[in-house]
């Protein structure tokens, strides 16, 4: 299959005999730094040049770290330092002499903790290597968000060549936005449709633990959670302790970390919004009864997370797994809190099924519960959720690749006075 990836205007693009491929930024929970990761076809040295104006020359340069993935991909990363939060930077990456390079690209440094400045992020899961992935990647690049959140089930292959190809499609947005991935059940070792977890970790370069982690961006706390390969298995998945790509296993450990991190956030005056990122459903807008993370429903599942979401004031919960689009109103233990498309301090999360990155499906039918705000199950859907965050308001749209905006709402939250 031949796919095309849009490159941004300017001097971006590969050059030389062994150019960087799959260039993507990641955020390490420090507004003064950014990490840029890429792969090459052959072994290479690595370097990055960057500055606040176009180059060359650039104000800063740094050598990179060159390493092999478990399957032998030639990977490279460089940490860009000395960034002023919220400022725009221009950069190029390549080998030590820049005989082979990718550039020039640009990005905005992360906002300072507690910043009142507006920012945007895009989210979608269930990608694969497909023309749909290319379309979604190019559509995200067109809105140029600060962050992009791939919500698990990213590659659907145990071949690192496919993993590399997906990153090459993501380069459309990855060279200008921080890419913060989430582990799905297909990022666990198994058959031909699963990517080994250590391969996933080699490519991503996320804060601390690449499988479960948190980071602050401006006035928002993001928590990315790995619940494991099987959502009804409470012994797998990991928390954010231990070595990178590891952690204490099991639902009890994950719940302890999730609860403690959110409790601390509620004492942090820099944090207004709290967003949980994962792969498995809590509220499913289809009739497939995938309520694996939440109690009740037809499966009578354990409450692995919903009590914490409500008790700690989480605002948004994003997931994939269903290869479709759906969204709830603010809902608490199957009780509708607010309807319509303008929510005011609801005190309950909104849940999003965003399994629309590039592998759409039409299985099942839509639920008719009053907490279902939107369900797209009968129609194959690719696209992404687009969130615009300010200190008092979240403006949201779901952008379908061919139909445009098919869902939207405004969420307002009046902050506490103490």
DSSP string, 179-212: E--B--GGGSS-STT---HHHHHHHH--SSSSSS
**The pair of three-digit structure tokens given for residue 256, joined into one six-digit string:** 């302890």
Q: What percent of the chain has pLDDT over 90?
A: 86
**The pair of three-digit structure tokens given for residue 300, joined into one six-digit string:** 């009578």
> Is 86 buried (19+), middle (13-18) or exposed (0-12) by CB count in 10 A?
middle
Cis amide linkage into residue 239, ω under 30° from 0: no
Which fold, 14-108? Answer: Immunoglobulin-like (2.60.40)
Residue 296 pLDDT > 80 = no
pLDDT band at residue 7 under the 50/70/90 scheme:
very low
184-188, 282-286, 395-399: the lowest-pLDDT one: 282-286
Q: How far is CA 285 from CA 161, 224, 325, 365, 376, in A?
A: 34, 21, 8, 9, 9
Q: Please list the helix, strand and coil fractions of the chain in percent, rounded to the nearest 5, in that order.
A: 15, 30, 55
Rounded to an integer, the average pLDDT of 160-172 is 97
CB 78 within 8 A of CB 61: no
Q: How far is CA 382 from CA 12, 169, 194, 209, in A?
A: 26, 15, 21, 30
pLDDT for the residue 357: 96
Q: How many CA atoms lie within 13 A of 325 on its CB side?
A: 25
Ranges of H-type helices in 293-406:
306-311
Q: Which residues of 98-114 are buried (b: 16+ CB within 10 A; e: fewer)?
A: bebbbbbbbbbbbbbbe
CB 34 within 8 A of CB 107: yes
User: How many angstroms separate the CA atoms of 41 and 5, rounded?
Assistant: 18
Ranges of H-type helices in 178-305:
197-204, 251-265
User: How many angstroms separate the CA atoms of 65 and 70, rounded?
Assistant: 16
212 Cβ contact partners less than 8 Å away, ≥ 6 residues apart: 183, 224, 225, 226, 237, 238, 239, 240, 247, 254, 257
**The pair of three-digit structure tokens given for residue 132, joined into one six-digit string:** 């749909």
pLDDT for the residue 297: 60
User: How many angstroms separate the CA atoms of 115 and 2, rounded?
Assistant: 42
Residue 42 pLDDT > 90 = yes
The H or E element spanning position 89 is strand 88-94
Residue 123 pLDDT > 50 = yes
User: How many angstroms separate the CA atoms of 20 and 175, rounded?
Assistant: 11
pLDDT for the residue 302: 84
Quick one: 119-412 is in which CATH superfamily? Metallo-dependent phosphatases (3.60.21.10)
| Per-residue DSSP letter, 324 | S
Residue 328 pLDDT > 50 = yes
Q: What is the pTM of this model?
A: 0.95
Helical pair 160-174 and 131-143, crossing angle rounded to 10 deg: 20
Comma-separated ranges of CATH 2.60.40.10 domains in the chain? 14-108
Rounded to an integer, the average pLDDT of 229-239 is 92
Rounded to an integer, the average pLDDT of 323-346 is 96
Residue 3 pLDDT > 50 = no
CB 108 within 8 A of CB 88: yes
CB 52 within 8 A of CB 90: yes
Comma-separated ranges of CATH 3.60.21.10 domains in the chain? 119-412
CB 85 within 8 A of CB 110: yes
């Amino acid at each position: 299959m031949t796919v095309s990836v849009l490159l941004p205007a300017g001097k971006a693009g590969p050059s030389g005999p062994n150019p960087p491929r799959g260039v993507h930024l990641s955020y390490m929970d420090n507004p003064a730094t950014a990490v840029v990761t890429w792969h090459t076809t052959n072994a290479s040295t690595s370097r990055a040049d960057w500055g606040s104006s176009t180059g060359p020359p650039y104000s800063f340069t740094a050598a990179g770290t060159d390493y092999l993935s478990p399957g032998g991909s030639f990977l490279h990363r460089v940490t860009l330092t000395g960034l002023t939060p919220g400022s725009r930077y221009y950069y190029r990456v390549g080998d030590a002499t820049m005989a082979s390079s990718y550039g020039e690209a640009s990005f905005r440094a992360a906002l300072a903790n507690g910043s009142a400045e507006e920012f945007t992020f895009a989210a979608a899961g269930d990608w694969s290597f497909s023309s749909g992935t290319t379309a979604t990647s190019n559509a995200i690049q067109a809105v140029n968000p600060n962050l992009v959140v791939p919500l698990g089930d990213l590659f659907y292959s145990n071949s690192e060549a496919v993993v590399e190809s997906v990153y090459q499609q993501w380069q459309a947005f990855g060279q200008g936005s921080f890419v913060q991935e989430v582990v799905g059940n297909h990022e666990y070792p198994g058959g031909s449709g699963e990517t080994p977890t250590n391969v996933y970790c080699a490519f991503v370069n996320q804060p601390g633990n690449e499988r479960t982690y948190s980071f602050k961006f401006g006035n928002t706390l993001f928590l990315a959670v790995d619940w494991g390969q099987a959502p009804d298995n409470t012994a797998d998945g990991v928390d954010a302790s231990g070595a990178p790509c590891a952690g204490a296993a099991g639902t009890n450990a994950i719940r302890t970390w999730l609860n403690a991190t959110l409790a601390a956030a509620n004492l942090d005056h820099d944090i207004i919004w709290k967003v949980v990122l994962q792969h498995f459903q809590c509220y499913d807008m289809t009739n497939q009864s995938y309520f694996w993370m939440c109690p009740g429903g037809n499966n009578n599942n354990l409450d692995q997370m919903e009590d914490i979401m409500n008790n700690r004031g989480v605002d948004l919960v994003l997931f994939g797994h269903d290869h479709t689009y759906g969204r709830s109103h603010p809902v608490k233990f199957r009780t509708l809190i607010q309807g319509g498309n303008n929510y005011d301090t609801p005190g309950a999360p909104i849940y999003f099924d965003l399994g629309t990155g590039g592998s759409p499906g039409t299985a099942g039918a839509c639920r008719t519960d009053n907490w279902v705000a939107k369900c797209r199950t009968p129609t194959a859907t690719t696209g992404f959720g687009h969130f615009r965050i300010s200190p008092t308001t979240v403006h949201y749209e779901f952008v379908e690749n061919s139909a445009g905006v098919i869902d939207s709402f405004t969420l307002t939250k009046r902050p506490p006075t103490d």
